[in-house]
């Protein structure tokens, strides 16, 4: 269920503006990789190139290779829609479909894929909600709108929705930045459980969070505003936070940035 | 240390007495600007209610003058001899024609308008979308008598082919049977009305679809939705109540349209199952056609028919509001 990601020489543009330049890295399966770095360094842009969401933005385009195991996501015959069914995503602000019930939100991806049996739908929804640690809170109101939940519950609903289609990889773009500390803790615990089944990549502004949840950490930086963001280094999280090999990483982590 | 000890120091004996904040006594803190604005906005609100009440009262009063004299049944008589003594008139045919032509117009205009609005907001390149939106706006600027002339002189003569095609393939339904007369019937009126209400439905729907939140469209995309599926999952549900409101605006116009219908329709006081054969008139068209030669009593009868149109419009609007309110919990506005 989890695949390795191999990125080589990846550069992404917004129109003529180069947002990130020449990024290469490997993301191990069944692990959590955190992206940290200052605002505007392109870590979210990079994340969005991993499921071909970047090109949805007007003017967005990408050069380079992203291999999922051995398949190039940017190959000529690859359908971006199929890529996004394989690489799931959770966004910064919880975004359950407001016009759908909790049940329908979780089932939305399955219904899109069309590859499910009607009788199994309820089981998959239950399993996904349990997987997102939300089942006990919502099992009595599955037919109520998802927008009635708290922010933290909504974000876990979005995670349930993403894992319901059994993706190979789960991308998380600052999933806790709109949540209070208790909801954040719940999501972090959940990430620890989910990495048994999925390859997880998480962008975060919270360095303690990166230290808590991730196995490996990548530090992104940009030399000046308007310059493309670059990958400074990627290493074991423990090493990044104790003894990074690049001075800029240490400056950023210890708060002596800029 | 207790914080309160810091903040409740006794006032120094030399403090001047605190000046009163209220300089105008009991009339309180209303400034002239506030009072004027409050008066204007409250007055506007009341004025609207007064006008509505006045119209309703006028219609009811004049209608009641003639309804008691009516020798036919006001609701079921297929006849309009309101100038005769005693008068014989009924609105059955007018209600039928008004509702049927409006339903035809809605059936054509709503899907097309929603399609145009989605194309402008979610498919077309910016420039093309802007051009189309501009052309749609132009459609709204054409006076209804011009639509009527175009309908009578161009649309109707060109409909014969379409009518005979409908008769060939769908005549068996009864709704599209055609005896071969001039196509100045409810279907022609419905088509013309559809064109006339297209701009308002398109414009309002376009505004609503444009405001569909990007975050829900991205949620659908990230689940592996195609462009159409994104629109189906996040854009259309978000715009649903807006499209209903837009359709009601269009329906209101279709129900009350006068000149264009009067120019195109050849009315007849009978009801026909087929949209392609003569049968039916509309309230507004009937008033326009009969008003100039009506006696005082005849005018009262026409006013009575106007009252019915007024009530139909109210009911339709109420129904639309009920539909929107019923699904409030699931509204896209809860995002």
Tens digit of each residue's pLDDT (9 = 90 or more) over A203-247: 999 899 999 999 999 999 988 888 899 999 999 999 999 989 999
Residue A7 main-chain phi, psi, to 5 deg? -105, 135
CB contact under 8 A, B335 and A98: yes
Asked if the structure places residue B53 within a domain, the reply is no
Query: In this complex, is the C-beta atom of A161 within 8 Å of any C-beta atom belonging to chain B?
Result: yes
For residues A44-56, give the mean pLDDT: 93
| Interface with chain B: mutation pick from A53, A89, A97, highest number of B CBs within 10 Å | A97
> Which residues, 6+ apart, have CB-to-CB distance to B8 below 8 Å?
none
Within-domain flag for B114: yes
pLDDT for B22 equals: 61
Q: What distance in Å separates the CA atoms of residue B234 and residue A40, rounded to the nearest whole number?
A: 29
Whole-number Å distance between alpha carbons of A66 and A104: 32
**pLDDT given for residue B5 in this prediction:** 46
| Chain B residues within an 8 Å CB radius of A79 | none
Q: What percent of chain B has pLDDT over 90?
A: 67
Q: Do residues B277 and B185 touch, judged by C-beta distance below 8 A?
A: yes
Cis peptide before B187 (omega within 30 of 0): no
Structure-block tokens of residue B3: 């914080």
B330·A145 Cβ contact <8 A: yes
Q: What is the pLDDT of residue B323?
A: 82
Residue B6 belongs to some domain of the structure: no
Instruction: Tell me if B5 is assigned to some domain.
Output: no
Q: Helix (H, G, I), strand (E, B), or coil: what is residue B242?
A: helix
Provide the β-strand partners of residue A173.
A203
Domain containing residue B201:
67-331
Angstroms from B326 CA to nearest CA on chain A: 13
Question: Residue B183 belongs to a domain with what CATH number?
Answer: 1.10.3720.10
- Cβ neighbourhood burial of A14 (10 Å; 0-12, 13-18, 19+): middle
Q: Is residue B59 part of a domain?
A: no
Q: Is residue B27 part of a domain?
A: no
DSSP calls for B270-322: S--S-TTSS-B--HHHHHHHHSTT--HHHHHHHHHHHHHHHHHHHHHHHHHHH
Question: CB distance A165–B329 less than 8 Å?
Answer: no
Contact A231, A243 (CB under 8 A): no
Give me the half-sphere count of Cα atoms (radius 13 Å) on the Cβ side of residue A245.
8
Residue of A nearest to B226 (CA): A81
**Interface check A54 vs B, CB under 8 A:** no
Interface with A, mutate which of B216, B217, B224 (most A CBs under 10 A): B224
Task: Quote the mean pLDDT of chain A.
Answer: 90
* pLDDT at res. A70: 86
Classified as helix, coil or strand, A208 is helix
Residues 79-108 of A with CB under 8 A from B: 81-82, 84-85, 88-89, 91, 93, 95-101, 108
Cβ distance B329 to A53 less than 8 Å, yes or no, reads: no
Residue of A nearest to B233 (CA): A97
Write out residues in chain B with pLDDT < 70, as ranges: 1-17, 19-29, 327-335
Mean pLDDT of A19-42: 92
Residues B260 and B280: their CA atoms lie apart, in Å, by 15
Q: Is residue B38 part of a domain?
A: no
CB of A148 within 8 Å of any CB in chain B?
yes
Does residue B221 belong to the interface with chain A, where contact is any CB pair within 8 Å? yes
Find the mean pLDDT for residues A182-197.
91
Separation in Å, CA of B228 to nearest CA in chain A: 11
Chain A contact set for B331 (CB, 8 A): 98-99
Q: What is the pLDDT of residues B193-247, one digit of tens each?
A: 999 999 999 999 999 999 999 999 999 999 989 999 999 999 999 998 899 989 9
What residues of chain B lie within 8 A of the CB of A128, using their CB?
none
Q: Does B328 touch chain A (CB under 8 A)?
A: no
Which chain A residues touch B123 with a CB distance below 8 Å?
none
Give the minimum alpha-carbon distance from A19 to chain B in angstroms, rounded to a whole number. Answer: 20
Number of domains, chain B:
1
Confirm whether B9 is domain-assigned: no
Give me the percent of chain A exceeding a pLDDT of 90: 66
Query: What tokens were used for B133?
Result: 């939106």
The predicted pLDDT at position A114 comes to 73
- For chain B, the distance separating the N- and C-terminal CA atoms, rounded to the nearest angstrom, is 46
ipTM: 0.89
The predicted-structure confidence for A156-171, as pLDDT tens digits, reads as follows 999 999 999 889 999 9
What pLDDT, on the 0 to 100 scale, is given for residue A257? Answer: 61
Give yes or no for residue A1 having a pLDDT over 80: no
The answer to whether A66 and A74 have CB atoms below 8 angstroms apart is: yes
Cα–Cα dist A222/A37, whole Å: 9
DSSP B13-41: TTPPPPPPS-SSGGGTT--HHHHHHHHHH
How far off is chain B from A47, nearest CA to CA, in Å? 12
Distance (Å, rounded) from C-alpha A159 to C-alpha A157? 5
Are B216 and A95 inside 8 Å of each other by CB?
yes
Handedness of CA B82, B87, B91, B93 (dihedral sign): negative
Tell me, yes or no, if B237 comes closer than 8 A to chain A by beta carbon.
yes
> In this complex, which of A82, A144, A147 lies closest to B335 when CB atoms are compared?
A147
The upper half-sphere exposure of residue B128, i.e. CA atoms within 13 Å in the direction of its Cβ, equals: 10
């Amino acid at each position: 269920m989890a695949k390795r990601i191999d990125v080589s020489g990846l550069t992404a543009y917004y129109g003529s503006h180069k947002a990130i330049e020449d990024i290469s890295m490997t993301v191990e399966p069944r692990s959590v990789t955190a992206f940290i770095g200052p605002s505007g360094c392109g870590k979210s842009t990079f994340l969005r190139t991993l499921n071909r969401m970047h090109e949805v933005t007007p003017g967005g385009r990408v050069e380079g290779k992203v291999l999922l195991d051995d398949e190039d996501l940017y190959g000529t015959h690859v359908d971006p829609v199929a890529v996004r069914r394989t690489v799931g995503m959770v966004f910064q602000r919880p975004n359950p479909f407001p016009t759908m019930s909790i049940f329908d939100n979780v089932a939305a991806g399955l219904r899109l894929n069309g590859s499910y049996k009607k009788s199994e739908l309820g089981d998959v929804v239950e399993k996904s909600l349990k997987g997102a640690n939300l089942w006990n809170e919502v099992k009595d109101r599955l037919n109520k709108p998802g927008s009635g939940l708290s922010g933290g519950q909504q974000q876990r609903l979005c995670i349930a929705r993403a894992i319901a289609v059994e993706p190979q990889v789960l991308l998380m773009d600052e999933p806790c930045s709109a949540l209070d500390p208790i909801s954040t803790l719940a999501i972090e615990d959940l990430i620890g459980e989910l990495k048994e089944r999925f390859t997880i990549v998480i962008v975060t502004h919270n360095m303690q969070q990166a230290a808590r949840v991730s196995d490996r950490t990548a530090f992104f930086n940009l030399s000046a505003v308007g310059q493309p963001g670059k990958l400074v280094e990627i290493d074991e999280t423990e090493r990044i936070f104790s003894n990074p090999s690049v001075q800029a990483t240490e400056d950023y982590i210890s708060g002596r940035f800029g | 240390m207790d914080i309160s000890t810091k903040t409740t120091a006794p006032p120094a004996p030399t403090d001047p007495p605190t000046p009163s904040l209220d300089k105008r006594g009991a009339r309180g803190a209303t400034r002239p600007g506030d009072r004027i604005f409050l008066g204007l906005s409250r007055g506007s609100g009341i004025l609207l209610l007064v006008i509505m009440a006045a119209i309703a009262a006028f219609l009811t009063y004049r209608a009641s003058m003639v309804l008691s004299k009516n020798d036919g049944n006001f609701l079921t008589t297929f006849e309009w001899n309101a100038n005769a003594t005693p008068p014989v008139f009924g609105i059955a045919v007018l209600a039928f024609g008004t509702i049927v032509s409006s339903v035809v117009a809605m059936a054509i205009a709503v899907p097309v308008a929603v399609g145009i609005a989605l194309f402008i907001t979610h498919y077309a390149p910016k420039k093309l979308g802007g051009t189309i939106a501009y052309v749609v706006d132009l459609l709204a600027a054409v006076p209804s008598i011009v639509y009527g002339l175009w309908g009578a002189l161009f649309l109707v003569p060109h409909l014969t082919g379409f009518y005979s095609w409908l008769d060939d393939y769908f005549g068996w339904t009864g709704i599209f049977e055609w005896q071969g007369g001039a196509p100045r019937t409810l279907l022609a009126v419905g088509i013309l009305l559809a064109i006339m209400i297209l701009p308002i439905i398109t414009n309002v729907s376009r505004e609503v679809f444009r405001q569909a939140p990007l975050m829900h469209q991205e949620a659908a995309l990230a689940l592996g939705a195609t462009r159409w599926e994104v629109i189906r999952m996040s854009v259309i549900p978000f715009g649903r109540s807006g499209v209903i409101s837009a359709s009601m605006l269009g329906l209101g116009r279709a129900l009350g349209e006068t000149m264009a219908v009067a120019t195109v329709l050849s009315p007849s006081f009978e009801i026909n199952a087929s949209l392609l054969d003569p049968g039916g008139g509309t309230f507004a068209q009937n008033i326009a056609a009969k008003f100039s030669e009506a006696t005082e009593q005849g005018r009262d009868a026409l006013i009575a028919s106007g009252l019915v149109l007024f009530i139909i419009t109210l009911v339709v609007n109420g129904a639309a509001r009920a539909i929107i309110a019923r699904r409030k919990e699931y509204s896209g506005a809860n995002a």
